[in-house]
């Protein structure tokens, strides 16, 4: 039952499953994914990310009305003492380097290009950030719908 949340006797409410999105290197994919997943499923999932916050990532997220400007860079080790239900890695290196977290039930790896490596003019770099943002949005929105379907089925 842990994968659908647990009843918290103290607060008389369901606790939301914690999702940790990881990315290593000088990239912002995890923060793009966190912002998107929190926007579409923050009511049913407690979403966190570790990785770097890139200024162009903040800019392209604002274009879809998601503000990640308050996000800050975190290391995956910051979460080792938290009860993480699902870990999602969004770059190849994070998948290799990722430890198991206490209480972890699920692990997913969905790799995306690193927009921080984009070259060219500002507009060319933004085009790469937008493409990666849109790819992340498709995958994480589908994931959110799947989690909602799981919750409905469990009731």
CB 113 within 8 A of CB 128: yes
Whether 28 is catalytic: no
Q: Please identify which of the residues 91, 116, 128, 139 carries the catalytic annotation.
A: 91
Q: Please identify which of the residues 28, 76, 84, 98 carries the catalytic annotation.
A: 98
Q: Please identify which of the residues 19, 23, 36, 41 carries the catalytic annotation.
A: 23
Rounded to whole angstroms, the Cα distance separating 46 from 154 reads 18
User: Where are the strands (E) in 34-151, listed by range?
Assistant: 46-50, 86-89, 106-109
2 by Cβ neighbours in 10 Å (0-12 / 13-18 / 19+) ranks as exposed
119 by Cβ neighbours in 10 Å (0-12 / 13-18 / 19+) ranks as exposed
Q: Which residues are catalytic?
A: 23, 91, 98
């Amino acid at each position: 039952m842990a994968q659908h949340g647990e009843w918290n006797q103290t607060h008389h409410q369901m606790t939301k499953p914690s999702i940790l999105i990881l990315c290593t290197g000088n990239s912002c994919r995890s923060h793009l994914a966190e912002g998107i997943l929190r926007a579409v499923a923050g009511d049913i999932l407690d979403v966190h990310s570790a990785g770097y916050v890139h200024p162009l990532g903040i800019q392209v997220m604002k274009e879809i009305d998601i503000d990640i400007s308050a996000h800050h860079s975190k290391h995956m080790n910051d979460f080792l003492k938290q009860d993480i239900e699902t870990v999602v890695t969004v770059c190849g290196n994070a998948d290799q380097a990722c430890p198991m977290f206490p209480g972890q039930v699920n692990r997913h790896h969905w790799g995306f290009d690193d927009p921080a490596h984009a070259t060219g003019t500002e507009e060319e770099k933004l085009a790469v950030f937008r493409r990666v943002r849109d790819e992340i949005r498709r995958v994480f929105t589908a994931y959110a719908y799947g989690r909602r379907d799981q919750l409905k089925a469990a009731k």
